């Protein structure tokens, strides 16, 4: 029996009576199928239109993207099913404070375009490990970074996206969580082959438009059901599960639910941590994560990259209204499920004894939206999930194969690298699935808080190394290495302690060690940043300064240095075509010396030109844009993409005015909800 959305306090004797019994109807399934066909058509169209038979096409989607697909792709890459589930779940559990992450990201994506991107462009780099190798020299820092990225992908991206998508499928189709995950992986594999990853940015742009239409529509339905923002403010504090234990603090809404800035000692998100501890991981994500930076480097020029970042920044205002507030409304409309406080009941309701706040958004989709729109929203969630999974799988596979395996076995054949890459994807999926129970149990069932806590333990040391490399010419490889190592060791110790000493249920005593119980993860992020900064500064001062080649055009202060001819530096083996066919997301994870690639491919071509290709091989080559192409010609056709730092003065002025407007808007929102 369905509970009526118009009744904020449905009463029932059985807690499962109000659990969503609504499933997808024929109209929803029809919209779902049509949506996937539409996305597939756009993907195939842009696959044909995109220049995929050049290095430029492989690495930077042709390097001619306008500002609007860049901005849409930045937003779509950031906002996936994990955000919809996680932000709404944290809003239902703790209020608006989680929106601070989105407002923080607004500033960071602008810093990327105005500060970091000119340095990357001046240094003529296309990947983040390549920047570190040029700036500091040596191989140990890029290798450590490659290993760390794999950890971060597993802990905060792949597992979380699979879990979030599975929650949607579990709620709508009543499937077992792990069966839903298996289904997602099968669909993703098919989508990867058929969709054409060379068109990732265009399909991201399409996803963004439909995602915004669906999410804003659901927001309208949600606010109408609760009586607007005033109604939400009144009813949120009364949204208690009828089955909660009397005289218990479990399941109670926070008194500061409508404030972003909260008590520095006792709150879930202390305000000093929001201002300082949150900013460093945010800079890591927006300014040094390969997937994000690569989309900005795909722009036609610096002005288009800035325009894309401005578009993404304006869109970052919306998650508070599209996800956080609807999550809070879901608690008001369905308190017995979303706000359940009894572990046994929560286990029955959503399969997670830590709490059911993460079903807040799926519950709204299934209960409030009419037939058709409901199917569209679920299609958007699953498609966004699959898009992000394919990019992450490809990226992680190439990082492991080219930066780690190729370092251990530099003479590995192309066939071996291809097999290793594919096998590693399977291993990655297996580890991610095994990690999902840990996600369920972490942070009281709040998915988004789980993501941010892990990020606060692993990302600050890397961010500090990048920041120091970009803005302090005296920093060198030894300082960067020891600062990174010490920061990561401390972060991993805290990460392990967090999982050994799990957060207790709210009615149980907290017997965790003081370092876990009393030091908030945002404060720990500040500690890690300070330790890395001090270590890197001290070591850099005590050792020899970097050479002029490691500084010229690679820092903010030297970005306008005259261009000098680069010396040939030995690089890892070239990226084989079979790996690079998977598109920008995967190709971007590997450092390639174009001359080496050309020479290697020429040799390969001369040996293989007489071999007759089977129909299957020809079909695969057609899908990847390589049919009938001379592999040597493939690389030699274009030079590396080097974008000028010069901008049209009028366009530059317009962008700077928009920058000031966007920042003013963000400051107003900070102040209003602080």
**378 confidence band (pLDDT: 50, 70, 90):** confident
What number of helices (H) and strands (E) belong to the chain? 35, 0
- Per-residue pLDDT, 468: 95
Q: Looking at per-residue confidence, does 203 or 332 come out higher?
A: 332
Percentage of the chain modeled with pLDDT above 70? 73
470 phi-psi bin (left φ>0, alpha ψ -120 to 50, beta other): alpha
**652 confidence band (pLDDT: 50, 70, 90):** very high
Task: Reply yes or no on whether the pLDDT at 381 is more than 80.
Answer: no
**44 confidence band (pLDDT: 50, 70, 90):** low
Buried/exposed code over 200-231 (b: 16+ C-beta within 10 A; e: otherwise): bbbbbbbbbebbbebbebbbebbbebbbeeeb
In order of 64, 119, 269, 497, the CA distances from 467 in angstroms are 28, 11, 25, 28
CB 650 within 8 A of CB 616: no
Residue range 434-458: mean pLDDT, rounded: 73
Q: Looking at per-residue confidence, does 381 or 599 come out higher?
A: 381
Percentage of the chain modeled with pLDDT above 90? 26
Task: Reply yes or no on whether the pLDDT at 476 is more than 90.
Answer: yes
Instruction: For residue 112, give the DSSP letter.
Output: I
Residue range 129-146: mean pLDDT, rounded: 87
pLDDT per residue as tens digits for the range 389-433 = 766 776 677 678 777 887 788 887 766 776 777 778 778 777 777
Query: Which of 307-311, 383-387, 458-462 is predicted with the least confidence, judged by mean pLDDT?
Result: 383-387
Buried/exposed code over 472-511 (b: 16+ C-beta within 10 A; e: otherwise): bbebbbbbbbbbbbbbbebbeebbeebeeeebebeeeeee
DSSP bridge partners of 262: 270
Q: Give the Cα separation of 188 and 186 in Å (integer).
A: 5
Q: Give the Cα separation of 245 and 242 in Å (integer).
A: 9
- Per-residue pLDDT, 661: 94
Q: Which of 250-259, 328-337, 579-588, 605-614 has the highest mean pLDDT?
A: 328-337
- Per-residue pLDDT, 613: 59
pLDDT per residue as tens digits for the range 295-313 = 888 888 899 999 999 999 9
Q: Looking at per-residue confidence, does 468 or 415 come out higher?
A: 468
DSSP bridge partners of 65: 299
Query: Which of 200-209, 519-528, 629-638 is predicted with the least confidence, judged by mean pLDDT?
Result: 629-638
Query: Which of 299-308, 340-349, 577-586 is predicted with the least confidence, judged by mean pLDDT?
Result: 577-586
pTM of the model: 0.78
Contacts of 463 (CB under 8 A, 6+ apart): 280, 281, 283, 284, 287, 288, 529
Among candidate residues 177, 194, 187, the one with its CA nearest the CA of residue 85: 177
Of all residues in the chain, what percent are helix, strand and coil, respectively (each to 5)? 70, 0, 30
Q: What SS3 string covers 404-428?
A: HHHHHCCCCCHHHHHHHHHHHHHHH
Q: Looking at per-residue confidence, does 502 or 44 come out higher?
A: 502
CB 584 within 8 A of CB 58: yes
Q: Where are the domains of the chain?
A: 26-562+643-673
Q: Give the Cα separation of 600 and 586 in Å (integer).
A: 20
Residues across the chain: 674
Instruction: For residue 456, give the DSSP letter.
Output: H
What angle separates helix 200-226 from helix 26-49, to the nearest 10 degrees? 150
Of the options 2.60.40.10, 1.20.1730.10, 3.30.460.80, 1.10.3720.10, the CATH number for the domain spanning 26-562+643-673 = 1.20.1730.10
pLDDT per residue as tens digits for the range 536-551 = 999 999 999 999 999 9
Q: Give the Cα separation of 523 and 44 in Å (integer).
A: 47
Interior angle at CA 273, CA 272 and CA 278, nearest 5: 130
**What is the radius of gyration, based on Cα positions, of the chain?**
25
Q: Give the Cα separation of 587 and 582 in Å (integer).
A: 7
Task: Reply yes or no on whether the pLDDT at 575 is more than 50.
Answer: no
CB 475 within 8 A of CB 114: no
pLDDT per residue as tens digits for the range 221-280 = 999 999 999 999 999 998 888 877 766 667 788 888 899 888 888 888 899 999 898 999
CB 204 within 8 A of CB 76: yes
- Per-residue pLDDT, 454: 85
Other Cβ atoms less than 10 A from the Cβ of 614: the count is: 9
Torsion of CA 384, 387, 388, 389, to 10 degrees: 120
Q: Looking at per-residue confidence, does 204 or 234 come out higher?
A: 234
pLDDT per residue as tens digits for the range 590-604 = 443 334 444 444 444
- For every residue of 264-283, DSSP letters joined together read TTTSSSBHHIIIIITHHHHH
- For every residue of 284-324, DSSP letters joined together read HHHHH-HHHHHHHHTBSSHHHHHHHHHHHHHHTTTHIIIII
Q: Give the Cα separation of 464 and 483 in Å (integer).
A: 9
CB 506 within 8 A of CB 341: yes
Q: Looking at per-residue confidence, does 148 or 388 come out higher?
A: 148
CB 673 within 8 A of CB 665: no
Q: Give the Cα separation of 619 and 611 in Å (integer).
A: 16
Other Cβ atoms less than 10 A from the Cβ of 350: the count is: 26
């Amino acid at each position: 029996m369905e509970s009526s959305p118009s009744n904020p306090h449905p009463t029932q004797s059985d807690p499962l009576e109000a659990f969503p019994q609504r499933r997808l109807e024929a109209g929803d399934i029809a919209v779902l199928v049509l949506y996937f066909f539409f996305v597939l058509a756009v993907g195939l169209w842009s696959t044909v239109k995109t220049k995929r038979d050049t290095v430029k096409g492989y690495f930077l989607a042709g390097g001619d993207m306008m500002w609007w697909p860049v901005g849409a792709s930045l937003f779509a890459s950031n906002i996936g099913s994990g955000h919809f589930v996680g932000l709404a779940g944290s809003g239902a559990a703790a209020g608006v404070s989680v929106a601070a992450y989105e407002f923080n990201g607004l500033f960071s994506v602008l810093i990327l375009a105005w500060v970091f991107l000119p340095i990357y462009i001046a240094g003529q780099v296309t990947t983040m490990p390549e920047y570190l190798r040029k700036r500091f020299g040596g191989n140990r820092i890029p290798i450590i970074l490659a290993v760390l990225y794999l950890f971060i992908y597993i802990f905060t991206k792949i597992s979380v996206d699979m879990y979030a998508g599975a929650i949607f499928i579990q709620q709508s189709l009543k499937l077992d969580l792990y069966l839903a995950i298996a289904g997602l992986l099968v669909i993703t594999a098919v989508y990867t082959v058929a969709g054409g990853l060379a068109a990732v940015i265009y399909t991201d742009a399409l996803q963004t438009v439909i995602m915004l239409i669906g999410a804003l529509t659901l927001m309208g339905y949600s606010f109408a059901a609760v009586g607007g923002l005033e109604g939400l403010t009144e009813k949120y504090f009364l949204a208690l599960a009828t089955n909660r234990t009397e005289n218990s603090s479990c399941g109670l809404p926070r008194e500061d639910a409508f404030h972003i800035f909260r008590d520095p000692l006792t709150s879930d998100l202390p305000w000093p941590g929001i201002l300082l501890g949150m900013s460093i991981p945010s800079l890591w994500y927006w300014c040094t994560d390969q997937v994000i930076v690569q989309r900005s480097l795909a722009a036609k020029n610096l002005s288009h990259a800035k325009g894309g970042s401005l578009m993404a920044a304006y869109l970052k205002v919306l998650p508070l209204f599209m996800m956080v507030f609807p999550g809070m409304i879901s608690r008001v409309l369905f308190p017995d499920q979303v706000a359940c406080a009894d572990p046994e009941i929560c286990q029955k309701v959503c399969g997670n004894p830590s709490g059911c706040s993460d079903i807040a958004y799926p519950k709204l989709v299934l209960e409030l939206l009419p037939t058709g729109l409901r199917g569209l929203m679920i299609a958007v969630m699953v498609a966004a999930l699959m898009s992000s999974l394919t990019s992450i799988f490809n990226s992680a596979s190439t990082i492991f194969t080219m930066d780690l395996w190729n370092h251990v076995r530099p003479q590995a054949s192309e066939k071996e690298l291809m097999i290793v890459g594919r096998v590693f994807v399977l291993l990655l999926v297996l580890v991610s699935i095994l990690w999902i129970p840990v996600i369920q149990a972490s942070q009281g069932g709040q998915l988004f808080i789980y993501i941010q806590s892990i990020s606060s333990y692993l990302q600050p040391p890397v961010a500090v190394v990048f920041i120091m490399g970009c803005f302090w010419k005296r920093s060198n490889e030894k300082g960067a290495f020891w600062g990174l190592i010490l920061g990561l060791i401390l972060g991993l110790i805290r990460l392990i302690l967090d999982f050994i000493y799990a957060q207790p249920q709210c009615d149980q005593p907290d017997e965790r060690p003081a370092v876990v119980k009393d030091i908030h993860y945002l404060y720990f992020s500040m500690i890690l940043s300070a330790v890395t900064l001090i270590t890197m500064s001290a070591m850099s001062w005590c050792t020899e300064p970097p050479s002029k080649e490691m500084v010229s055009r690679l820092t903010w202060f030297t970005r306008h240095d005259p261009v000098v001819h680069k010396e040939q530096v030995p690089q890892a083996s070239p990226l084989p075509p079979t790996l690079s066919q998977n598109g920008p997301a995967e190709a971007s994870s590997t450092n390639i010396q174009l001359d080496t690639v050309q020479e290697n491919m020429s040799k390969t071509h001369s040996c293989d030109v007489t071999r007759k290709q089977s129909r299957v091989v020809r079909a695969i080559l057609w899908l990847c844009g390589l049919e009938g192409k001379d592999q040597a010609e493939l690389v030699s056709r274009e030079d590396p993409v080097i974008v000028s730092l010069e901008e049209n003065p009028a366009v530059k002025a317009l962008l700077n005015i928009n920058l000031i407007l966007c920042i003013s808007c963000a400051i107003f929102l900070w102040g209003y909800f602080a």
